[in-house]
Structure 1
Amino acid sequence: MTVLVTAALALAGLALFVLGAALGHGAARRQLEHTAGTDGTRALAHALHTAALAAAPLRAGLTPDTARRTARRLRPLLGAPALALADDTRVLVWDGAAEHHRDQLATQLAPTPRPRTLALSCADEGCAVRWAALVPLSAGGVAAGTLAVFAGAESATLLRAAEEAARRLSVDLDLAGLDRARSSAHEAEVRALRAQISPHFVYNSLASIASFVRTDPGRARELLLEFAEFTRYSFRRDGDFTTLAEELRSIEQYLELARARFGHRLQVTLRIAPEVLPVTLPFLCLQPLVENALKHGLEDSVERSRVTITAEDEGTEARVVVEDNGVGMEPERLRGILRGTAGASTGIGLSNVDRRLRQVYGDDHGLVIETGVGAGTKITVRVPKFRPGVQAPPP
């Protein structure tokens, strides 16, 4: 009887929690408020909280570790003597009694779109497990595994509770898939930027270094070290984020190599507030802006180029501005660049940075670009000083 009562409460709580996942926590909260004052409210709230804790580990995917943490919280919620989670090939965890049925469960893991029940035979007369509900888990509409809930006798209530639990777990598996897709997309964006560090730049940098080998070996050595540090940073693999200090250091190396090529034609001014140097921002999000400034300030013009980089403290945000006095561009071309339809390599860099900033901080933190034909270009980046989940790797 205790199992049936617990399963009934779990069923109500899980159903409401699935409703909350679909409609938003506000809708679920209003439903709870509707039942306020009843003795069942506390039980429902407890079921909601426990279900949330049980499902949360699966945001990292279905693995033996996440399955173990989920099963440990979910089994008491359902009031079952045993519970297991499996992927499509093996039982990942068994929580509770009668683990001698584990091999029997392993033979039943063929993917199936519908819940099913299983009568279990056992030579142990005192075994607490005689029946199982096997409910499929899905991720992105594809079978991802199985939730198995066991009982001493057939129970329609426990089967329904297991179905609701599996539906809630599947929501988190879906979110895990979205997280992986988002991470893969971000990695692809960074790979695109790395690929954009053009062979043309590499060739010109090495040619500039070679020109100093005989006339000024010390200068050649300094430039070679700058080139090595710049490429090491640009092709690093540890993390999606960096600090403003590290990004600016890489930009200084990039500009030092550019000075070796352009000489007195390039004038660079940096105005950096020390208090914003520890601020975290997406990796390689400023270098494309400086590359754009050099391209439109030098490669498209025979005049001297002035590039100014400013980083200021603005309360809860850091404001970074990259400005040049180059040829600028037409507004329509700028819109094409940010849409990723302009076709130019620097355009790919600007649209890439704009897209990543919006993904991390929201649409109100995209690039702000002021330009016009013959009027130079001013690009502004605003980065929150703190954002949950945004953290640079240790130096």
Structure 2
Amino acid sequence: MSTSGWALLCAFSTLIGFVLPRRRQGRHRDSGGPPDEATFVTLHIAAMAAPSLRAGLTRDSARKAVRHLRTLLGTSALALADADEVLAWDGAAGCHRDDAPEHARTALATARPHVVAGDAFPCDRPGCAIRGGVVVPLTVDGRVVGALAAYDAVVSAALVRTVTEVARWVSSQLELAELDSSRRRAMEAEMRALRAQMSPHFVYNALTTIASLVRTDPERARELLVDFADLNRYALRRARDFTTLAEELHCVDRYLLLERARFGERLRFTVRAAPEVLSVPVPFLCLQPLVENAVKHGVAGAGRRGEVRVVVRDAGPEAHISVEDDGLGMPPERARGLLDGDPRQGRDEGGFGLANVDVRLRQIYGEDYGLVVETAPDEGTTVRLRVPKAPPW
């Protein structure tokens, strides 16, 4: 189990230990069911709040989460604040909402739980049930990013402990949100690097080939120029995480047509795909780098006629894809180095693209979905990947 996963499990265990007694003793009592039913209710409420918090601490996420958090604690009112303002309030006694920013600022400044009660919490409104509150800072990676403030008729030691543990759990969700954001930024950076990698290896040779045909076969040059524009329009359009297999195969087809114009009869290729999987969502630009690697090693590297085959099969809940060439192949340890992104294994020869696709697949689908490379010297190379038909979102 990862460190973050273990920390979250510990937070849940502690959270249940504090919240269950609180919910049994508070005004919102359980219906008298067995303890496991109360545990289920607590976990269910926490699960309802978690998706909003995983979006980070924003006005929208706070508004969606605050009601569930107040239900979890069973207090009269609850507020969520960031470093600048109160983002959301839920519960009765709106007269105290204007006091919440000052309470939050105290907790943010001291980075410690803050209790307001007695003379520090005056109220002259008839019938107001709130007589105090507990304000606990929310932290992400050691930084105070906000505060959770719970208000009720009595501020007991049990309430302080309970709100502190709920704040710890909220902080763990916000840390996971930060990790999600960092992962998205890393994937966007990898996408930009992948696009930059594609152009230097390909654009010069494609344009040189087209230029050589302008006088001898202008119609063919025009067709190839349209293919080149189509391919680059696809590769350079506004970034998206996913496309369909049909669009990705269309990109591969345009790439192979341009390479066929360059290599002539030295390059043969086939692209076969089961119709049932053409609409399956796949990571953007996940196949073209594999095909580019196959062309370089299967044709350019061998210096003789070679064949590249792209096959997409329907495999029940998954689509199975293979990119094969009959070129020189390589020792298995070199293939492992390419997947690991080892610069000593020759990123300029296509290894960068293989490592990039492998990392992206594992990040999106899990460690079981990386590339599988089958190769040996003089035996060609086959790169296999699997993608679930169901989208990962």
Q: TM-score range by the shorter chain?
A: 0.7 to 0.9
Aligned residues of 2:140 and 2:171 also touching (Cα < 8 A): yes
Aligned to 2:385: 381
Mapped to 2, the partners of 1:42 and 1:368 lie a distance apart of: 46
Mapped to 2, the partners of 1:379 and 1:79 lie a distance apart of: 55
Structure-2 change in CA distance of 1:111 and 1:213 (3 Å): farther
Matched, 1:57 2:52: yes
Across the aligned residues of Structure 1 and Structure 2, the Cα RMSD in angstroms comes to 2.6
The alpha carbon displacement at 1:141 in A equals 3.0
Mapped to 2, the partners of 1:379 and 1:311 lie a distance apart of: 12
Q: Which TM-score applies when normalising by structure 1?
A: 0.84
The alpha carbon displacement at 1:84 in A equals 0.7
Mapped to 1, the partners of 2:52 and 2:151 lie a distance apart of: 22
The alpha carbon displacement at 1:250 in A equals 0.3
Overall identity of the aligned pairs, in %: 54
SS at match of 1:197: helix
Mapped to 1, the partners of 2:190 and 2:8 lie a distance apart of: 33
Matched, 1:21 2:9: yes
AA in 2 matched with 1:381: L
Aligned to 1:176: 177
Aligned residues of 1:71 and 1:93 also touching (Cα < 8 A): yes
Matched, 1:349 2:337: no
Structure-2 change in CA distance of 1:149 and 1:298 (3 Å): same
The alpha carbon displacement at 1:158 in A equals 2.2
AA in 1 matched with 2:110: T
Aligned residues of 2:329 and 2:381 also touching (Cα < 8 A): yes
Mapped to 2, the partners of 1:329 and 1:142 lie a distance apart of: 49
Q: Which TM-score applies when normalising by structure 2?
A: 0.85
AA in 2 matched with 1:86: A
The alpha carbon displacement at 1:236 in A equals 2.9
AA in 2 matched with 1:102: R
Structure-2 change in CA distance of 1:269 and 1:42 (3 Å): closer
Matched, 1:363 2:367: yes
Aligned to 1:128: 129
Structure-2 change in CA distance of 1:198 and 1:85 (3 Å): same
Structure-2 change in CA distance of 1:21 and 1:197 (3 Å): same
Mapped to 2, the partners of 1:72 and 1:217 lie a distance apart of: 68
Aligned to 2:217: 216
Structure-2 change in CA distance of 1:187 and 1:207 (3 Å): same
Structure-2 change in CA distance of 1:378 and 1:44 (3 Å): closer
Aligned to 2:111: 113
Mapped to 2, the partners of 1:186 and 1:305 lie a distance apart of: 34
Aligned to 1:247: 248
SS at match of 1:198: helix
Mapped to 2, the partners of 1:161 and 1:70 lie a distance apart of: 17
Aligned residues of 1:309 and 1:320 also touching (Cα < 8 A): yes
The alpha carbon displacement at 1:140 in A equals 2.8
Mapped to 1, the partners of 2:33 and 2:97 lie a distance apart of: 40
Structure-2 change in CA distance of 1:112 and 1:216 (3 Å): farther
Q: Which runs of 5+ in 2 are unaligned?
A: 1-5, 21-31
